[in-house]
């Protein structure tokens, strides 16, 4: 019963850690707008955590530049299990307009397992909330599988 | 036989009623109501009231990471538990109107010392984590403690003086004397000389709990949650729980110091219902606990949620200045008035 309680709670209390991997700032602003009164993702328990150690979901924005890649991987490895990785915007998914640039190391899925991709440039807040809600389901499954 | 019975009774006090279980449920519920109220004040829907429970149980199921730079694994993992234990003990000593789990064993001085332990435990744990963010948070937390301590001591002195001069002892630090005085003369907040102290106490509460706008020590946007930066999983959950219980403890301390007169009203109500003996005692305690919790909710909304919703985070020197001038000044006015017998 206690295990079930923890699994239920895991789906209801996802804390986000946001990593900017060379983003143009567009997605960063859209992610913050998700927490504003208009969309209010805190309804679903979402909270921006200050430290990767507190997070359940890592949100990566930007095309993952060669400079940011080691830092991104290090920050992701500091997030305790069970964790979910969500890419936000087209950049970490495909490279977007930066694809093929000498300074871009992405896409992110070449280096770590990505659970949810939210495409768009920048994605609408509704799409972001939808992607994060999907990530909470995956988190719950990961917790139950433990 | 009676020793066994009283042992069971005390165990019940520590683990269930004013102790751990009550603190756990009431504290987290209070924290949830606070988050909901802040959301309402910002025109958001807000998280469910049970959100802190979800947060706590989720953290129980997460991995615990001890950083490689941690100087002492034992201190790092034990510090949250020490803080939590101190808070539960503190709650045992704060009277719920006429009822105290351990009456006559502790007075206000003990409360002052016990209030320091959770903050010191966070400092120890943060220092043991070896994180530079925790280092910054640590120095800020120390300044916050020093800032809050002076006005709190002045408030307690003012209350002690009023109660002490009424009973002819000069200055009293005994909780039972304070409760007895309020049962006889009505709540202390009704005395004109105590109003500045009560206002000062309302301002001390968010500082002691480390809530907005006095959360420079745990500023998540600038120093990665400061002292808690390296904590994850169950230890972090215990810290979150301690924070919630601290809100309950401080608001119930306010009720005990300034609104204790309500207790005699509850007793009269129980007598009016025609109860007597052990049943009346039990009903009084249960009613008292419910009334106490409702008062705690009101106080939390007034001094924690409202302050959170309307203010931005203060810098650490602003916190220090605010407490040592405005708040201490208010408490000092009460103390001087009390000294002249008003």
Instruction: Provide the pLDDT for residue B53.
Output: 92
| Lowest mean pLDDT segment, chosen from A131-135, B53-57, B139-143, B291-295 | B291-295
Residue A73, number of CB atoms within 10 A of its CB: 14
d(CA B194, CA B189): 6
Render pLDDT for B43-52 as a digit per residue (tens, 0 to 9): 888 899 999 9
| Lowest mean pLDDT segment, chosen from A31-35, B80-84, B155-159, B220-224 | B220-224
The string of DSSP letters for B235-279 reads HHHHHHHHHHHHHHHHHHHHHHHHSTTHHHHHHHHHHHTT--HHH
Render pLDDT for A11-53 as a digit per residue (tens, 0 to 9): 888 899 999 888 888 888 888 888 888 888 888 888 888 888 8
Instruction: Provide the pLDDT for residue A71.
Output: 92
Assign A85 to helix, strand or coil: strand
The chain B residue lying nearest A40, using CA atoms, is B44
Interface of B with A (CB under 8 A): 35, 39, 42-48, 51, 53-58, 60-65, 133, 219-221, 223-225, 228-233, 236
d(CA A88, CA A23): 10
Instruction: Name residues whose C-beta falls within 8 Å of residue B310's C-beta, 6 or more positions apart in sequence.
Output: B41
Residue B40 has pLDDT above 70, yes or no: yes
d(CA B331, CA B141): 22
Render pLDDT for B310-335 as a digit per residue (tens, 0 to 9): 888 888 889 999 999 999 999 999 88
Render pLDDT for A99-110 as a digit per residue (tens, 0 to 9): 888 999 878 888
Render pLDDT for A53-75 as a digit per residue (tens, 0 to 9): 889 999 999 899 999 999 999 99
CA A62 from centre of chain: 11
Query: Which two structure tokens, joined as six digits, stand for B124?
Result: 């120890």
Render pLDDT for B272-311 as a digit per residue (tens, 0 to 9): 777 777 777 777 778 778 888 888 888 888 888 888 888 8
Please give the model's pTM, rounded to 2 decimal places.
0.89
Residue B104 has pLDDT above 70, yes or no: no
The chain A residue lying nearest B218, using CA atoms, is A50
The chain A residue lying nearest B240, using CA atoms, is A54
Shortest Cα–Cα distance, A106 to chain B (Å): 27
Instruction: Provide the pLDDT for residue A142.
Output: 87
Q: What is the mean pLDDT of residues B64-84?
A: 86
Burial (CB < 10 A; 0-12, 13-18, 19+), residue B105, is exposed
Split at pLDDT 50, 70, 90, the class of B212 is: confident
Render pLDDT for B236-277 as a digit per residue (tens, 0 to 9): 999 999 999 999 999 988 888 888 777 777 777 777 777 777
Mutate to test the interface with B, among A2, A4, A8, A13 (most CBs of B within 10 A): A13
Ordered strands of the A84-88 beta sheet: A47-48, A15-20, A57-61, A84-88, A116-118
Cis peptide, bond prior to residue A139, ω within 30 of zero: no
Instruction: Name residues whose C-beta falls within 8 Å of residue B43's C-beta, 6 or more positions apart in sequence.
Output: A37
d(CA B129, CA B75): 9
Q: Do A43 and B47 touch (CB under 8 A)?
A: yes
Q: Do A43 and B229 touch (CB under 8 A)?
A: no
ipTM of the complex: 0.89
For residue B324, the enclosing domain spans 2-339
Q: What angle do CA A29, A34, A39 make, to 5 degrees?
A: 140
Q: What is the mean pLDDT of residues B107-132?
A: 87
Specify which of A96-105, B92-101, B219-228 reaches the highest per-range mean pLDDT.
A96-105
| Lowest mean pLDDT segment, chosen from B39-43, B147-151, B183-187, B239-243 | B183-187
B342 or B236, greater pLDDT: B236
Give bridge partners of residue A88 from the DSSP assignment: A61, A118
Q: φ, ψ for residue B68 (rounded to 5)?
A: -65, -30
Residue B76 has pLDDT above 80, yes or no: yes
Instruction: Provide the pLDDT for residue A116.
Output: 92
B99 or A59, greater pLDDT: A59
Instruction: Provide the pLDDT for residue B329.
Output: 92
d(CA B44, CA A41): 10
Shortest Cα–Cα distance, B41 to chain A (Å): 10
Q: Indicate the number of domains in chain B.
A: 1
Shortest Cα–Cα distance, A6 to chain B (Å): 5
Domain boundaries defined on chain A: 19-145
What CATH number has the domain spanning A19-145? 3.40.50.12280
């Amino acid at each position: 019963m206690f295990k079930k309680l923890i699994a239920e709670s895991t789906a209801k209390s996802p804390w986000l850690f946001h990593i900017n991997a060379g983003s143009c700032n567009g997605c960063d602003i859209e992610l913050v707008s998700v927490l504003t009164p208009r969309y209010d993702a805190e309804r679903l328990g979402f909270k921006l955590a200050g430290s990767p150690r507190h997070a359940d979901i890592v949100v990566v924005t930007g095309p993952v530049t060669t400079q940011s890649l080691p830092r991104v991987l290090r920050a992701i490895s500091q997030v305790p299990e069970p964790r979910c990785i969500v890419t936000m915007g087209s950049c970490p998914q495909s490279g977007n307009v930066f694809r093929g640039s000498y300074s871009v190391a992405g896409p992110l899925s070449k280096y770590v397992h990505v659970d949810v991709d939210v495409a768009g440039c920048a994605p609408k807040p509704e799409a972001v909330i939808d992607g994060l809600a999907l990530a909470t389901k995956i988190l719950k499954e990961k917790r139950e599988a433990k | 036989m009676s020793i066994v019975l009283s042992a069971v009774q005390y165990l019940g006090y520590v683990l269930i009623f004013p102790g751990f279980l009550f603190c756990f449920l009431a504290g987290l519920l209070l924290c949830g109501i606070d988050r909901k109220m802040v959301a309402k004040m910002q025109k958001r829907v807000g998280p469910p009231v049970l959100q802190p429970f979800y947060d706590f149980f989720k953290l129980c199921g997460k991995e615990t990471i001890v950083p490689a730079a941690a100087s002492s694994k034992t201190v790092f993992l034990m510090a949250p538990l020490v803080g939590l234990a101190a808070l539960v003990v503190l709650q045992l000593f704060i009277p719920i109107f006429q009822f105290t789990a351990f009456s006559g064993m502790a007075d206000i001085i003990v409360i002052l010392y016990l209030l320091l332990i959770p903050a010191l435990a966070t400092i120890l744990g943060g220092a043991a984590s070896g994180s530079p963010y925790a280092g910054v948070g640590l120095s800020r937390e120390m300044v916050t403690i020093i800032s809050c301590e002076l006005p709190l001591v002045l408030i307690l002195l003012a209350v002690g003086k009023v109660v002490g001069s009424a009973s002819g002892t000069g200055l009293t630090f005994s909780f039972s004397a304070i409760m007895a005085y309020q049962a006889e003369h009505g709540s202390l907040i009704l005395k004109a000389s105590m109003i500045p102290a009560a206002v000062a106490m309302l301002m001390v509460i968010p500082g002691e709990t480390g809530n907005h706008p006095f959360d420079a020590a745990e500023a998540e946007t600038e120093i990665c949650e400061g002292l808690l930066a390296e904590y994850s999983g169950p230890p972090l959950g215990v810290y979150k729980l301690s924070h919630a219980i601290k809100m309950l403890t401080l608001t119930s301390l306010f009720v005990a110091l300034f609104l204790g007169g309500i207790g005699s009203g509850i007793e009269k109500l129980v007598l009016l219902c025609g109860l007597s003996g052990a049943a009346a005692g039990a009903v009084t305690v249960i009613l008292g606990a419910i009334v106490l919790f409702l008062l705690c909710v009101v106080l939390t909304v007034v001094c924690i949620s409202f302050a959170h919703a309307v203010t931005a985070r203060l810098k650490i020197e602003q916190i220090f200045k605010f407490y040592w001038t405005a708040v201490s000044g208010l408490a000092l006015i009460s103390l001087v008035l009390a000294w002249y017998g008003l």
